Amino acid sequence: MSDAKTLFTHGNVVTRFAPSPTGHLHLGGARTAVFCWLLARRYGGRFVLRIEDTDLERSRQEYTDSILASMRRLKLDWDGEPIFQKDRFAVYDAAVERLLASGHAYWCACSPETVEAARAKARSEGKKPRYDGRCRKLGLGPGPGRTVRLAAPAEGRIKFDDMVKGRLAFDASELDDMVLRRADGSPTYNFSVVVDDAAMNITHVLRGDDHVNNTPRQILLYRAFGAEPPVFGHVPMILGPDRQKLSKRHGAKSVMEYDEDGFLPDALVNYLVRLGWSCGDREIFERDELVRLFDGDNLNRSPAAFDPQKLLWVNAEHLRRKPPAALLPDLRPFLKTGGESGPQADEELVLACIGMLQGRVRTLKDLAGQMRPVLTPAAELPYAEGVLESLGPDECTRLAELRARLAALPAFDRNSLHAAVQAYVEEKGLKFKAVGQPLRAALLGALNGPDIMQVMQAAGREDTLAKLDRALKLAAGLRRACLPARNFTGSG
């Protein structure tokens, strides 16, 4: 497509992710980060993380921390230390000085009201509202309330080959002499970005297409510095299912919220990549495959819509495909209950539970929830409402008879358990459900759940029998308590 594509050279690619710490990392920003990271990793280049915190009022440490935590959680490792723009004001000042010295910038004494009046005048004349550049010729020096502006060319075309959108062109006459340094000394976004991208030798700038109108301005700045601009790529915004701008009301959350809900980093990365990049019609990719396949050539021009159901499906697929041991570290935090330290669940038992459940859950939270009854010792197993009540006299008789057979089984594996239960129901002329359901109630404290043979095998004989005993005892106690009180009206 565009010339941009020829510029991928192994080892030379340098990308950056440059979030402003004015909020948590959401899906759109995370997707940009994933694209930039993948591009660098694919071509053996560098990936820079730059926190754009020059807006001292809106930037918050809390958000910086949360963005860094989200990046770590997504395992998007960056090269070198994160760079903070607020530590680089001296660099921006020096860059302003260079442009002033070379005549590409000038001091401007216009107040915001004067600038607004100039814009309004242009508007009333049917022209593009722009600052009229009246201070350009005045040769002003620094002073209170003064800004520094770029002496932008009045005419000409600014063209570039966008990695996503192809060739784009803008008229220089549409752009005014933008402010580079505000009256309070802070650099503007366009200025600090260009100074940093140039200083950090960024070769590819991938970002949301809400920035596409900034790019011609940034290209003018590169020209003013006599520097080569990077390759730009502007990815379309992620939309909600209703094709409107994605927001919380569509159920979209921040990376850390997805983490708390039990989404795997690999699944989130996989899902995000597919919101704007494709490789045939494949949906599920492991991270190392993405690093091998991601090429920057197949970035979609049309916006993708967020689909929470698909995200759940992608997560379920990753949960299903990973070896149980690979899920263990991510699962651990979900196994802790209510902050109490408690005995750590036996690792082998947890692995057995993962193996049993990973094909039937969609999140780590689900996975932990479904294995909890198996990990809970008999004495502490909670029963959901109505579960003990479901164990009437017939159910209890069956459970007690089965208990005796299970206690005597030579081996306590799924096949032996299945054979024993099957033999019992055949002998008694029962449907499987007539024991399956009571077993589930007694062993899980719930009326539904995974394959009960697998549950018994994972829990082992001792725990299974203890849970049966307790359920039988509690169900009997419940029945006694519910018997109608006898009427002892003695004679006499």
The residues that are catalytic are 248
Alpha-helical segments (H) within 409-448: 414-428, 433-444
Interface segment toward ligand GLU; rule CB under 6 A; list 12-20, 144-152, 281-289, 355-363:
12-20
Please compute Rg for the chain using Cα positions. Answer: 33
One-letter identity of residue 136:
R
Interface segment toward ligand GLU; rule CB under 6 A; list 18-26, 94-102, 274-282, 297-305:
18-26
How many angstroms separate the CA atoms of 140 and 362, rounded? 64
Choose which of 19, 45, 187, 449 interacts with ligand GLU (CB under 6 A).
19
How many angstroms separate the CA atoms of 387 and 375, rounded? 19
Choose which of 14, 38, 52, 372 interacts with ligand GLU (CB under 6 A).
52
How many angstroms separate the CA atoms of 96 and 224, rounded? 11
Angle at 423 between CA 419 and CA 426, to 5 degrees: 140
Please identify, using beta-carbon distances, which residue of 235 and 331 lies nearer to ligand GLU.
235
Within 170-199, which residues bind ligand GLU (CB under 6 A)? Answer: 193
Choose which of 211, 414, 470, 479 interacts with ligand GLU (CB under 6 A).
211
Please identify, using beta-carbon distances, which residue of 193 and 345 lies nearer to ligand GLU.
193
Report, in Å, the least distance between residue 128 CB and ligand GLU. Answer: 23
Interface segment toward ligand GLU; rule CB under 6 A; list 15-23, 101-109, 251-259, 329-337:
15-23
Report, in Å, the least distance between residue 157 CB and ligand GLU. Answer: 22
**Backbone phi, psi, residue 231, to 5°:** -80, 135
Q: Does 83 bind ligand GLU (CB under 6 A)?
A: no
Report, in Å, the least distance between residue 236 CB and ligand GLU. Answer: 15
Contact (CB, 8 A) for 85 and 196:
yes
How many angstroms separate the CA atoms of 418 and 305, rounded? 46
Please identify, using beta-carbon distances, which residue of 20 and 270 lies nearer to ligand GLU.
20
Please identify, using beta-carbon distances, which residue of 206 and 465 lies nearer to ligand GLU.
206
Please identify, using beta-carbon distances, which residue of 49 and 442 lies nearer to ligand GLU.
49
How many angstroms separate the CA atoms of 61 and 57, rounded? 11
Report, in Å, the least distance between residue 347 CB and ligand GLU. Answer: 42
Q: Where are the beta strands (DSSP E) in 20-102?
A: 46-51, 83-84
Give the binding-site size for ligand GLU (rule: CB under 6 A): 7
Choose which of 13, 18, 49, 273 interacts with ligand GLU (CB under 6 A).
18
CA distances from 332 to 329, 343, 365, 427 (A): 5, 13, 10, 43
Choose which of 207, 253, 362, 440 interacts with ligand GLU (CB under 6 A).
207
Q: Does 20 bind ligand GLU (CB under 6 A)?
A: yes
Please identify, using beta-carbon distances, which residue of 84 and 313 lies nearer to ligand GLU.
84
How many angstroms separate the CA atoms of 455 and 439, rounded? 10
Report, in Å, the least distance between residue 208 CB and ligand GLU. Answer: 7
**DSSP letters for 155-209:** S-EEEEEETTTEEEEEEGGG----EEE-TTSPBPHHHHHHHHHHHTT--EEEEEG
Please identify, using beta-carbon distances, which residue of 19 and 187 lies nearer to ligand GLU.
19
One-letter identity of residue 397:
T
| Residue numbers at the binding site for ligand GLU (CB under 6 A) | 18-20, 52, 193, 207, 211
